Amino acid sequence: MFGFRKRRREKLRSTELKPEWKEIILKNIKFYSFLSEELKKELHSLIQIFMDEKTFEGIDGLEITDEIKVTIAAQACILLLHRDTDIYPTLHTILVYPHPFYSNIKQHLPGGIVAEGEQGRLGESWFRGPVILSWDDVRRSAYDHNDGHNVVFHEFAHQLDSESGANEGAPILPERSMYIAWARVLSKEYQDLLDHLEHHHNSDIDFYGATNPAEFFAVVTEYFFEKPIQLQMRHPELYEQFKNFFNLDTAAMMLKDKN
């Protein structure tokens, strides 16, 4: 079984991406323009495998098109570039709503507060389950790379986090020696965000990241790919940890594009 999958993946990697899929990426995903030709080629290979192995289902009457699949797949695979990965091994299905949807949630908030009830959602990621997305927000956040928010990056960051066996803001790092620095820096930055929230101070990191360490990891992932220059300037140690984890220098990529 594993030999068959390996051979199939090798064949997919060597297959040229459909021209119409490239057009969708160029039109919908601004971050794609920051990639080198080498990274674009790697991304194309990852997309081929993702599209072959994952199932997309439309909810509330949404018809799943190539545009929907490619736009989601490309962003999910950007998080995998230059990394040793099995391409979201526990994820099999992506559910897509046409618009934001409602979900019954129970959240443990800072200060021991527990919030329960129905909440409007742009996306969800289930541990060893599906990713759920709003197509309206996928399309908007993919194109606008300056707002610091990207629903696909956020939800698929949760998938990376869960590969360690739990959603707790501690994904599998490339080397065991990295865990001490990761825990030190992220714990400090997370606590700083909690302090800003408690004292009603402004923060460049979205306060949704104060919900718990898992959400902090997902929110900073958005920041790392959407506003990396600001992240590097304001939180240099945090930026360095994410640069080492994703094996990409996104700030340098965007500075090069500006020059």
In the chain, % helix, strand, coil (3-state, to 5) comes to 60, 15, 30
- 148, 203 in Cβ contact below 8 A? no
pLDDT (tens digit per residue) in 35-44: 999 999 999 9
pLDDT (tens digit per residue) in 113-150: 544 444 445 567 767 779 999 999 999 988 887 788 99
Name the percent of the chain lying above pLDDT 90.
Answer: 74
Which domains can be identified in the chain, with CATH numbers? 2-258 (3.40.390.10)
Mean of pLDDT values over 4-15: 89
Mean pLDDT of the chain: 89
Give the Cα separation of 190 and 243 in Å (integer).
Answer: 18
Distances (CA, A) of 121 to 106, 118, 125, 135, 218: 13, 9, 11, 12, 15
Phi, psi (deg, nearest 5) at residue 105: -130, 160
56 forms beta bridges with 94
Mean of pLDDT values over 1-19: 86
pTM, whole model, 2 decimals?
0.89
Q: Which residue has the higher pLDDT, 103 or 66?
A: 66
Buried b (16+ CB within 10 A) or exposed e, 39-55: beebbbbbbbbbbebbe
- Any idea which of 29-33, 148-152, 165-169, 198-202 has the lowest mean pLDDT? 165-169
123-125, strands of its sheet edge to edge: 55-58, 93-97, 131-134, 123-125
Tell me: pLDDT of 238 over 70.
yes
Structure tokens at 217: 């990891």
Structure tokens at 160: 């990376």
Distances (CA, A) of 214 to 52, 159, 200, 217, 232: 29, 10, 22, 5, 21
* Count of all residues that appear for the chain in the document: 259
Give the Cα separation of 128 and 159 in Å (integer).
Answer: 8
pLDDT score for 106: 55
- 119, 186 in Cβ contact below 8 A? no
